[in-house]
């Protein structure tokens, strides 16, 4: 397999947008192409992450329409759907097609517009990611799933619930602090632990500020062979490892603190890259709820199981810590337009490796990993990137 690099990235501001999914895609895609010094005619395939556009905007076969929006008629255009992991799946497949030698240049992107739905419909739409036969009928929602994760975590490791709640609040405070420094973030306001504790209860022990928002946005990345990349940029970010894992519904998973899909996917990515968790400088991971960040840092191998919350208290995940987690602000502060999130994580890692993140720059970052999870812990994808200069 050939070496593969990201040569250009683009991203809209996340939050509430008046633009359609296709319009947001076009903005991010053209930014990525312009940064790559490429024209639409140079793209050989489009892989697009989009989870629920058929429900929110009534738009299916969105990849073909997206290709036409920026003059890519005639090429293969494929939509990827893995709930919140949709964008990562698009990047992973783009990498594999280029690595195989079949394509030299592929555009991977993600787009989603959800704020138009309102809370009730958005909840119903998101719940289509649960197992429709065994889970949806019970009324379980994603806040409920992660609330169960939190309670199971406390029970398994003997951690008092109030202690975990403080650790989760510290995750929220950290990510909002980073979001202030990200001009493309949805929430650019610092919060305190007291703000978290005073926010409304959503699904005990998760309170409002433990939860990521509903968001609109798009992101894109141009994926090219190393030979092509050397002609286009002097700062390529090489994709050195990818992984993807799956699991069934909640009823098939006995331990919500040890996610089968994540551990399988991460192992694939580390093995392909020839790296270990200790080699990672920076991580953009799926903090859809604050407890999810704690559990993910353990599943990715950064900390021992049961130690993720204590690591937050020690400052191990902050700037200057053992591994910097979510310098973009994460889903919690940056926002979470489902189909775009995985590609937006790649956008952040690429810019961190280039040293172009300004006040939120992680000094000396050379290797980064993304982690995106979709559904009831059912689909996880990981991308490892390293500096190419």
pLDDT reading at 345 higher than 90: yes
Convert the pLDDT of each residue in 238-263 to its tens digit: 999 999 999 999 999 999 999 999 99
| This prediction's pTM | 0.98
Rounded to an integer, what distance in angstroms lies between the CA atom of residue 357 and that of residue 345?
A: 13
Backbone angles phi, psi at 357, to 5 degrees: -100, 10
Show which residues are catalytic: 84, 336
Q: What is the average pLDDT value for the chain, to the nearest integer?
A: 97
Convert the pLDDT of each residue in 91-106 to its tens digit: 999 999 999 999 999 9
Rounded average pLDDT over 52-58:
95
Rounded average pLDDT over 35-53:
97
DSSP one-letter code for 37: T
Give the pLDDT confidence score for residue 389 in this predicted structure: 81
Among 168, 177, 213, 219, smallest CA distance to 47 is for 219
**Tokens representing 233?**
């940029």
Q: Which residues contact residue 338 at a Cβ distance below 8 angstroms, ignoring those fewer than 6 apart?
A: 51, 52, 83, 84, 86, 112, 114, 126, 374
Q: Which residues contact residue 254 at a Cβ distance below 8 angstroms, ignoring those fewer than 6 apart?
A: none
pLDDT > 70 fraction of the chain, expressed in percent and rounded: 100
C-alpha 365, offset from chain centre? 19
pLDDT reading at 120 higher than 90: no
Q: Under a CB-based contact definition with an 8 Å cutoff, are residues 318 and 283 in contact? A: no
205 cis-preceded (ω within 30 degrees of 0): yes
pLDDT reading at 88 higher than 90: yes
Q: Which residues contact residue 170 at a Cβ distance below 8 angstroms, ignoring those fewer than 6 apart?
A: 193, 312, 313
Q: Which residues contact residue 255 at a Cβ distance below 8 angstroms, ignoring those fewer than 6 apart?
A: 152, 156
**Tokens representing 294?**
């704690």
Convert the pLDDT of each residue in 272-312 to its tens digit: 999 999 999 999 999 999 999 999 999 999 999 999 999 99
Helix, strand, or coil here: 260? helix
Give the pLDDT confidence score for residue 127 in this predicted structure: 87
Kindly list the domain boundaries of the chain, sorted by start residue.
4-118+213-387
Rama region for 160: left / alpha / beta (φ>0; ψ in -120 to 50; rest): beta
Give the pLDDT confidence score for residue 199 in this predicted structure: 98
Q: Which residue has the tokens 């556009």?
A: 53
The CA–CA distances, whole Å, from 362 to 7, 145, 270, 309 equal 20, 32, 21, 22
C-alpha 129, offset from chain centre? 16
C-alpha 174, offset from chain centre? 17
pLDDT reading at 126 higher than 90: no
Backbone angles phi, psi at 384, to 5 degrees: -110, 130
Give the pLDDT confidence score for residue 372 in this predicted structure: 98
Convert the pLDDT of each residue in 185-217 to its tens digit: 999 999 999 999 999 999 999 999 999 999 999
Give the pLDDT confidence score for residue 221 in this predicted structure: 98
CATH of 4-118+213-387, one of 3.10.310.50, 3.20.20.100, 3.40.50.720, 3.40.47.10: 3.40.47.10
Q: How confident is the model at residue 124 (pLDDT cuts 50, 70, 90)?
A: confident
Q: Under a CB-based contact definition with an 8 Å cutoff, are residues 88 and 58 in contact? A: no
Give the pLDDT confidence score for residue 256 in this predicted structure: 97
């Amino acid at each position: 397999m050939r070496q593969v690099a990201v040569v250009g990235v683009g991203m809209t501001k996340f939050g509430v947008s008046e633009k359609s999914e296709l319009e947001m895609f076009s903005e991010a895609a053209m930014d990525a192409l312009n940064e790559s010094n490429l024209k639409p005619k140079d793209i050989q395939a489009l892989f697009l992450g989009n989870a629920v556009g058929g429900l929110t905007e009534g738009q299916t076969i969105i990849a073909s329409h997206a290709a036409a929006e920026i003059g890519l008629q005639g090429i293969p255009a494929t939509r990827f759907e893995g709930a919140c992991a949709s964008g990562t799946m698009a990047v992973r497949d783009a990498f594999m097609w280029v690595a195989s030698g079949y394509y030299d240049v592929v555009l991977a992107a993600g787009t989603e517009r959800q704020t138009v739905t309102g809370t009730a419909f958005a909840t119903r739409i998101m719940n289509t990611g649960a197992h429709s036969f065994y889970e949806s009928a019970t009324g379980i929602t994603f806040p409920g799933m992660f609330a169960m994760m939190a309670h199971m975590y406390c029970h398994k490791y003997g951690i008092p619930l109030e202690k975990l709640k403080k650790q989760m609040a510290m995750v929220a405070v950290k990510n909002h602090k980073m979001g202030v420094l990200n001009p493309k973030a949805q929430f650019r306001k610092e919060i305190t632990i007291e703000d978290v504790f005073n926010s409304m209860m959503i699904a005990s022990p998760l309170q409002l500020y433990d939860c990521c928002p509903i968001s609109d946005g798009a992101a894109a990345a141009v994926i090219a062979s190393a030979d092509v990349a050397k002609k286009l940029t002097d700062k390529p970010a090489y994709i050195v490892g990818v992984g993807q894992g799956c699991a069934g519904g909640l009823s098939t998973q006995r331990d919500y603190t040890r996610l089968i899909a994540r551990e399988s996917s991460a192992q694939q990515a580390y093995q392909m890259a020839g790296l270990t968790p200790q080699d990672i400088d920076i991580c953009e991971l799926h903090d859809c709820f604050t407890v999810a960040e704690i559990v993910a840092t353990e599943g990715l191998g950064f900390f021992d199981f049961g130690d993720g919350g204590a690591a937050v208290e020690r400052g191990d995940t902050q700037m200057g810590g053992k591994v910097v987690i979510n310098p973009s602000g994460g889903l919690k502060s940056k926002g979470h337009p489902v189909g775009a999130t995985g590609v937006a994580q790649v956008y952040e890692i690429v810019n961190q490796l280039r040293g172009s993140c300004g006040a939120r720059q992680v000094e000396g970052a050379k290797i980064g990993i993304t982690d995106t999870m979709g559904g009831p812990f059912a689909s996880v994808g990981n991308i490892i990137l390293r500096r190419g200069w």
